[in-house]
Amino acid sequence: MTRTETIPSPPSADKPALSPALSFGVIAILALVVLYAVPKPASVTIQGWRMLAIFVCTVVALMLRPIAGGAAVLIGVTITIVAGVLPPVQALSGYGNTTVWLVLSAFFIARAIINSGLARRLALIFVRAVGSTSLGLGYALAACDIVMATVIPGNSARTGGILLPVARNLGSIYQSLPGPTASLLGSYLVLTIYQGDMIACAMYLTGQASNPIAADLALKGAQISMTWGRWLYAAIVPGLVSFAAIPWVVYKIAPPGIKHTPQAADMARLELSKMGRISFAEMKVIAVFLLVCGLWSTASWHGIATTTVALIGVSILLMTKSLQFSDMIREHNAWGVFVWYGGIIRMGEALNDFGVMKAFATSVAGMFAGWHWPAMMALIVVIYFYVHYLFASVTTHLVSLYGPFIAILIAAGAPPALVVFSLAFYANLSASLTHYGTTPGPILFSAGYNTHGEWWKVGLIVSFVNIAIWTSVGLVWWKMIGLW
């Protein structure tokens, strides 16, 4: 018998920042400014400049959210066809991109893991093992997220659908509820789930849905392959150091009133006993999970593409009835990602094909004339990280800045592999700053355990710690493995 977890929709993720009419007005004015007020480089064609205007307006639509993100991207793709920028076959080719199908397949595998009850069992096992103290509970929830991120790209599913319900149950055991008693335990657990999720997102290609965008842009813009195994290899050392540090840092900044939680481990034992022994459905999912992760991590030996491995996993789940086709059809989050993801990837490729990115990088690089690349990279990393205060999505952050910044740094002489991997990691880590930095933020914040000030204070201090770890331990590790 399978168990379907309810994955809540972000309560404010789709709420427009401005009224729809005002947002569309801003987008229209922006299009006119780009087309007629911003000087066009001589090396860029009219079609390329129109592509830039469409791309910029689409990104702003993703930020202002007058309509759903998938709808905004689909409209942008349609405009590229109507405006004669790209023919239909080329404009729609993003939906045949292998990276898009990797993300879609990973969502389907995640659905099978959740439906089987395996994800919830995993969370309870971690709580039972180290949940006798509030600090241990923080580590348990963060560790569970890191394990699930190996194949579950929906960080809102991991945090909102699996970890938040567990945290709420733990809080209720100790009468720590939203409001005056939140600081007893619930506030700490929610903050730790969120900050730990940023580490999980940074550690895997499948950590969250926009990571494959970075991989695609790295391949197109720097000819660097970011496979699942290579991504993990580059991230594992600084990632584990961050995992060891962050729950403790949050514990010190926002200490829970209750330090010892023996009843939490008892609750986990009770819930696990109710679930009984691992079911045959869970065993089938575990087998596919191990197969997929094993093939991903050994891709350099057998040469099977990452997307092919994911599709094999989905096929086995379907054949063994661990996943129903009806489940795939109802996975609206996956199909929503598919629509906007395929479109935005194609737009980014078109900008590169038209030479817009090269012209931008050449122009900005001229501003840093005489700078050595380490100094330039240090400055760009700080800007790139803290500009996330302006973004409500890691995807929008990546789409807007990742491609241009890697072009600028590589043009300045920075090692391409170091640039593409580090900026991909920092994009994920930067979402820790605010309660709207990525989709799980609104889900967790709306639970009511934390104030804005507390969330932002913790996010800022954690950002200092993560930057310190990934620019010290990270740089040493990346040197050892030959990224620079």
Q: Is 369 exposed, middle or buried (0-12, 13-18, 19+ CB in 10 A)?
A: exposed
* Angle subtended at Cα 269 by Cα 268 and Cα 274, rounded to the nearest 5 degrees: 95
**Ramachandran region, residue 222 (left: φ > 0; alpha: ψ -120 to 50; beta: rest):** alpha
Q: What is the CA radius of gyration of the chain?
A: 22
3-state SS assignment for residue 392 = coil
Q: Give the distance from CA 21 to its chain's centroid.
A: 30
Quote the strand ranges of 174-294, DSSP E.
none
Nearest residue to 422 (alpha-carbon basis) of 260, 218, 280, 220: 218
pLDDT digits (tens, 9 = 90+) for 329-364: 988 878 887 888 788 878 877 887 888 877 776 776
pLDDT digits (tens, 9 = 90+) for 274-327: 999 999 999 999 999 889 888 887 877 888 888 898 899 999 999 999 999 999
Instruction: Report the distance separating Cα 266 and Cα 406, nearest Å.
Output: 50
Contact 131, 163 (CB under 8 A): no
Instruction: Report the distance separating Cα 247 and Cα 235, nearest Å.
Output: 18
Confidence of residue 11 (pLDDT cuts 50, 70, 90): very low
Residue 48 CB partners (closer than 8 Å, separation 6+): 351, 354, 355, 356
CA atoms within 13 A on the CB side of 367: 9
Residue 82 CB partners (closer than 8 Å, separation 6+): none
Average pLDDT on 168-192 reads 89
CB environment 284-306: b (16+ within 10 A), e (fewer) = bbeebbeebbebbbebeeeeeeb
Q: Is the pLDDT of residue 187 over 50?
A: yes
Residue 7 confidence (pLDDT): 40
Lowest mean pLDDT among 9-18, 336-345, 381-390: 9-18
Q: Give the distance from CA 210 to its chain's centroid.
A: 5
Q: Is the pLDDT of residue 17 over 70?
A: no
**Other CB atoms closer than 10 Å to residue 397's CB: what's the count?**
26
Q: Is the pLDDT of residue 474 over 70?
A: yes
Say how many Å lie between the first and final Cα of the chain, rounded: 50
Average pLDDT on 38-65 reads 88
What is the DSSP annotation of 16-44? -SS-HHHHHHHHHHHHHIIIIISPPPTTS
Q: Is the pLDDT of residue 417 over 90?
A: yes
Residue 14 confidence (pLDDT): 45
**Ramachandran region, residue 10 (left: φ > 0; alpha: ψ -120 to 50; beta: rest):** beta
Q: Is the pLDDT of residue 193 over 90?
A: yes
Helix (H) or strand (E) holding 357: helix 356-367
Instruction: Report which residue type is found at 299.
Output: A
Q: Is the pLDDT of residue 8 over 90?
A: no
Q: Is the pLDDT of residue 6 over 50?
A: no
Contact 161, 114 (CB under 8 A): yes
Residue 15 confidence (pLDDT): 57
**Other CB atoms closer than 10 Å to residue 29's CB: what's the count?**
11
Lowest mean pLDDT among 107-111, 124-128, 133-137, 455-459: 107-111
* Angle subtended at Cα 24 by Cα 22 and Cα 27, rounded to the nearest 5 degrees: 110
Q: Is the pLDDT of residue 129 over 70?
A: yes
pLDDT digits (tens, 9 = 90+) for 443-458: 788 788 998 889 989 9
Q: Which residues, in sequence order, are bridge partners of residue 133?
A: 260
Q: Give the distance from CA 338 to its chain's centroid.
A: 15
Confidence of residue 64 (pLDDT cuts 50, 70, 90): confident
Q: Is the pLDDT of residue 160 over 80?
A: no
Average pLDDT on 177-205 reads 93
Q: Is the pLDDT of residue 16 over 70?
A: no
Q: Which residues, in sequence order, are bridge partners of residue 260?
A: 133
Percentage of the chain surpassing pLDDT 90? 43
Rounded mean pLDDT of the chain?
87
Q: Is 96 exposed, middle or buried (0-12, 13-18, 19+ CB in 10 A)?
A: exposed
Residue 114 confidence (pLDDT): 82
Nearest residue to 282 (alpha-carbon basis) of 55, 45, 114: 114
Residue 378 confidence (pLDDT): 92
3-state SS assignment for residue 372 = coil
Percentage of the chain surpassing pLDDT 70? 95
For residue 292, what are the CA distances in angstroms to 236, 320, 322, 334? Answer: 18, 15, 15, 19
Q: Give the distance from CA 66 to its chain's centroid.
A: 22
Q: Which of 2-6, 44-48, 244-248, 259-263 has the highest mean pLDDT?
A: 244-248
Average pLDDT on 399-417 reads 88
